[in-house]
Structure 1
Amino acid sequence: MSLLLIICAVFILATIVRTRRQETARLPPGPTPLPILGNILQFSGKEVFKTFVKFAEKYGSVYTVYMGMERIVVLCGYDTVKSALIEHGDVFGARGHLPMIHKLSSGGVAGSNGERWKQLRRFSLTTLRNFGMGKRSIEERIQEEAHFLTEEFRKTNGQPVDPTYYFSKAVSNVISSVVFGNRFEYEDKEYLRLLNLLNQLFRDFSSVWAQVGNANDHLLLPGPYKAFSKAIDEILKFIAEKVKLHQESLDPNSPRDFIDCFLVKMEQEKSNPDTEFHMTAIMNTTFDMFFAGTETVSTTLRYGLMILLKHPDVEERIHQEIDQVIGRNRAPCIEDRSRMPYTDAAIHEIQRFIDLAPLGVPHKVTQDIEFKDYVIPKDTTIYTLLSSVLQDPTLCKYPHEFNPGHFLDSEGKFCKNDAYMPFSSGKRICVGEGLARMELFLFLTTILQNFTLRSPVDTGKLDLTPEISGFGNFPRPYQLSFVPR
């Protein structure tokens, strides 16, 4: 009997090994994983994306790694990422598994899949457009907030300040006016506490412990994860209070903002047992809008001004273009962008250079697919390495240098560059891309119309490499002075 059991066990084990080898033989190549841990010990905790780049140099533009026990296929370079997200968008269009994203946005538009994602995304895009995304009404809100921001900078009297929360307050007020129907005063203590929580979440998401936890959710450190979860719960509590106030004052015939529109949709579908419009969805989708609409643009502006301190020649050329096209007597408007090619190129280059989300947000294939001579099994998580697109040497002459010329032709006119993919691409492209691009142009031109930037330290000491580099790239702390022009 013992001999029979041993023979059966050996046979079963041999079958598993043979099946695994057959499956692996069809997968893209990659580093050999360890049992349970996968390839996690081969990653640099502080600069995870650089490890992905090194693997690409060895295994090619499509390769396989194991984050813990989970298989992940990584796509690198413009041609490969474009092929997946554009040419095979239906297959690569699902949201992939990432424990921290599941905690951050399990029921909202960012982290959902299938019918829920389709309905929430369609509704969110339509509602944002109805409230002015890409139109004059939202432009006026940004112009108003840019004015408040410059007044705050003027109060500093040219003294050095850390710009972090100045930008967070201004940018967050834009999305708040759309989502909540109102802006907040800059000294509102509850508002400042909320912004601090948002900033901490974005930093935590890129920390070393988060990278370990994303590789294997069983390895999440209890202390940091508890603080991370508490911050999310605090923000959701704030949103819940806003939703309750909206319910009490709702006029279905005259929705004031995104929350009102969602409540109206919930009422319309209350008899549908399969509806995707319910309290969990409104909470999580509002969270998605508020979180992404605050941290991405404010971090880009903060990083962008640091870059301009290091490149005063670029700042000076933007000053000249502002003076020629806009002057000093009116606020910048979005129509100015088409007549300001250098400024437009500089903003595009800021986004390309800072590489805000180097790993992108994970995707997932919805079926088995033969891709680039390999077979990727259904439900495999996909990392589209946006960093490898933004720094693709075939598209940028100086991929690791800041150079607005990457977006200018020989005559100085703005020209598109396929390397520009900071918002991802395809079906999962960022819902707020249009709003973000409008904010970056209007905030930056308004600031430089009114001020010259000065560093209190030798600009040679300013380090443009990220302080933290994980899910996001964070600029190092710095100060600058806003000197009135």
Structure 2
Amino acid sequence: MGGGIQRMLPVTFMLGFLKKLSRNSHHRRLLQITVLLSLIWAIIKRLKKQRELQANPARGLPLPPGPWGWPIIGIMPTLAHGYPQKIITEMSKTYGSVMSFKLGSHLAVVLNDFDTIKEAFAKSGDKFSDRPKVTMFESIHPAGAGVVLSYYDNHWKENRRFTLRTIKKMGIGKAAMMESKISEEARFVARSFDEQGDRPFHPTYFTNLAVANMINSLVFGKRNDYQDPLFLQAISKMMELFKVFGVGAANFLPNVMKYVPGSQFRQAMKIVKFFEEKWYGPQILQHIETFNANNIRDFIDHYLLEKFFKEGSIHYQDFPAVLGAVGDMFGAGLETTSTALDWVFLCMVKYPEAQAKAQRELDKVVGRYRMPQWGDRHNLHYVMAFLDEALRWSAGGPFGVPHSPIEDTDFRGYFIPKSAVVIANLHAVMYNPEVFPDPETFKPERFLNEDGKFVKHEHVAQFSIGRRACLGEHLARMEIYIIATHILHQFTLTAPGGNTDSIRTDGIIGLTKNPHPYKICSIRRTDTYDITEIPMDLLSDDNNNNKEDRNNNNECKHGAR
């Protein structure tokens, strides 16, 4: 009884004190401020308590340090006011190589340097090989299908082994087999550039078409005309899907955004439905209907053949699994490679001296009367340095695809729960001033040794690191090299009117970092082997329309090399 009275006395005293304070306006204002500060203090204490409870009490390890965020939404408002990769990299100067914060309802753990990422993703076995359970991943990807977004389980291991086997069977890893296909597509890109005449144009349009057609030829066994309306719509939808895949509310406020009309989540679902009903779906069903184990045409047939040998027949029930595998091929290949090419062309235009130096090396090594080949790369040291510097400087995949622990684990003295979203800050790796001095400056020479030879650097981690790194990196690098060197050999790319200041060097963040839309002029180089002499029936007659209009445009008439 006495103890209860003693506990009540402070409360009684406080109530009396507050009553006196409220009798005049000055005291009332003081009371309001006191209550507000008390409320803020209570919220902070509550959040701190929740954070402490998340640590594994059995191991006695804390979560990685990091900034406090708002209830429910975490630090998402902070990331929305600027470039997330730069904001997080700046935070790492305070919190270190391993830090954490809340993104909506998810705990994010960010790894901020190369050694830390390599230790987690490459040297820790399968500890961080899972994918996080975020709404966008789960909703667009059939369970047990594909490799890129799948959870780390037996389905993933089986699908990865199959993909590697298929890559080998189809000769995707063999330079000779792939070079002819990529070179053919490079001819279409060059012809498309040439057909623009004196009219400034967006190169992104053609890089998307070229890379998508490369994937088409592997997956569906055919290429599409650059004027095919359904093909163009499919590419547009795919690029739209990538834009809503970044660090956004659709991923990290799953229980809210799926019900919000017009939200990114709803947009993504509409796009997925388009692919199932209009693009991937019909072509997959046609493959199932026409499958012949004695006539394997492409990636889909290889996938069905695997099913055939395992189960003895092909069923329409296999459709979701094939859909996921095909989605992987397009998702993994289109955005990363086409974005990289966009940045390469932007660098050519933005830094004309570097472009001219690369062209001089091409002329010396290759000459003017044949096209560059994959084997020439061993003697094209500055060109290779230019391409790797474009990948580093653009940091087109600033965070890669998020990982997740396969179970509650510890890492570098911190507790990482299974539910965490583990993010590799690849931007910080490629912009580390201790590795790349003056990282904001575009400088291909940083990849040349004292003898002027190209030196590859493992910190150019555009395709991520470890067990879940991009399986198609070799193919992507070959595509970038062949298309870029073909264009460099045939054209000088310039900014309209020669105004390089109009070319922005920042980017737009989605799943990757894309350049802001920009236009270029392609000026035909003189005394050159004409790569554009390809059969006209392979291109639409629409390309020849408006030639008179193009010749009247003076924005691109300022000299050629």
In the alignment, structure 1 residue 302 sits paired with structure 2 residue 342: yes
- The Cα of 1:26 is off from its aligned counterpart by 1.8
**Residue number among 491, 495, 504 corresponding to 1:455 in the alignment:** 495
| Higher alpha-carbon deviation: 219-228 or 417-426 | 219-228
2:101 alignment partner, SS class: strand
- 5+ residue gaps, structure 1: 4-14
1:8 equivalent in structure 2: none
Deviations 1:137-161 (A, max 9, x none): 1111001111121112111123211
Deviations 1:154-193 (A, max 9, x none): 1112321111211111111111100000000111111111
2:112 equivalent in structure 1: 76
- How well do the aligned residues superpose, as a CA RMSD in angstroms? 2.3
State whether residues 350 and 495 of structure 2, in contact with CA within 8 Å, keep that contact through their aligned partners in structure 1: no
1:108 equivalent in structure 2: 146
**Residue number among 237, 259, 266 corresponding to 2:307 in the alignment:** 266
In the superposition, relative to structure 1, how do residues 285 and 45 fare at CA in structure 2: closer, same or farther (>3 Å)?
farther
State the distance in 1 between where 2:331 and 2:96 align.
35
1:407 equivalent in structure 2: 447
In the alignment, structure 1 residue 242 sits paired with structure 2 residue 283: yes
1:62 equivalent in structure 2: 98
In the alignment, structure 1 residue 422 sits paired with structure 2 residue 459: no
**Residue number among 309, 334, 337 corresponding to 2:377 in the alignment:** 337
State the distance in 1 between where 2:162 and 2:184 align.
27
State the distance in 2 between where 1:447 and 1:181 align.
26
In the superposition, relative to structure 1, how do residues 249 and 45 fare at CA in structure 2: closer, same or farther (>3 Å)?
farther
State the distance in 2 between where 1:254 and 1:444 align.
35
2:462 alignment partner, SS class: coil
In the superposition, relative to structure 1, how do residues 219 and 483 fare at CA in structure 2: closer, same or farther (>3 Å)?
same
In the superposition, relative to structure 1, how do residues 432 and 218 fare at CA in structure 2: closer, same or farther (>3 Å)?
same
- In the alignment of these two chains, the number of paired residues is 466
State the distance in 2 between where 1:152 and 1:256 align.
28
What residue identity is the alignment partner of 1:332?
A: P
State whether residues 48 and 470 of structure 1, in contact with CA within 8 Å, keep that contact through their aligned partners in structure 2: no
Deviations 1:430-460 (A, max 9, x none): 0111110000000000011111112114112
**Residue number among 191, 195, 205 corresponding to 2:245 in the alignment:** 205
In the superposition, relative to structure 1, how do residues 205 and 165 fare at CA in structure 2: closer, same or farther (>3 Å)?
same
Moved >4 Å (runs of 4+): 15-25
In the alignment, structure 1 residue 216 sits paired with structure 2 residue 221: no
- The Cα of 1:292 is off from its aligned counterpart by 2.5
- The Cα of 1:49 is off from its aligned counterpart by 2.2
**Residue number among 177, 183, 187 corresponding to 2:227 in the alignment:** 187
State the distance in 2 between where 1:17 and 1:389 align.
28
- The Cα of 1:75 is off from its aligned counterpart by 0.6
Output aligned runs, 1:90-109, within 5 Å.
90-106=126-142, 107-109=145-147
Deviations 1:270-302 (A, max 9, x none): 379xx9x93222101101112332222112112
**Residue number among 328, 352, 370 corresponding to 1:288 in the alignment:** 328
In the superposition, relative to structure 1, how do residues 229 and 18 fare at CA in structure 2: closer, same or farther (>3 Å)?
closer
1:6 equivalent in structure 2: none
TM-score by length of 1: 0.90
State the distance in 1 between where 2:455 and 2:249 align.
40
In the alignment, structure 1 residue 117 sits paired with structure 2 residue 156: yes
What residue identity is the alignment partner of 1:403?
A: K
Which structure exhibits the higher relative contact order, with contacts defined as CA atoms closer than 8 Å and separated by 6 or more residues?
A: 1
State whether residues 109 and 120 of structure 1, in contact with CA within 8 Å, keep that contact through their aligned partners in structure 2: yes
State whether residues 141 and 174 of structure 1, in contact with CA within 8 Å, keep that contact through their aligned partners in structure 2: yes
State whether residues 46 and 469 of structure 1, in contact with CA within 8 Å, keep that contact through their aligned partners in structure 2: no
State the distance in 2 between where 1:214 and 1:45 align.
18
- 5+ residue gaps, structure 2: 5-48, 526-561
State the distance in 1 between where 2:415 and 2:460 align.
28
1:38 equivalent in structure 2: 74
- The Cα of 1:427 is off from its aligned counterpart by 0.3
- The Cα of 1:18 is off from its aligned counterpart by 7.2
- The Cα of 1:268 is off from its aligned counterpart by 2.2
In the superposition, relative to structure 1, how do residues 320 and 270 fare at CA in structure 2: closer, same or farther (>3 Å)?
same
State the distance in 2 between where 1:473 and 1:19 align.
36
What residue identity is the alignment partner of 1:87?
A: K
In the superposition, relative to structure 1, how do residues 89 and 50 fare at CA in structure 2: closer, same or farther (>3 Å)?
farther
What residue identity is the alignment partner of 1:164?
A: T
- The Cα of 1:25 is off from its aligned counterpart by 5.3
State the distance in 1 between where 2:51 and 2:141 align.
37
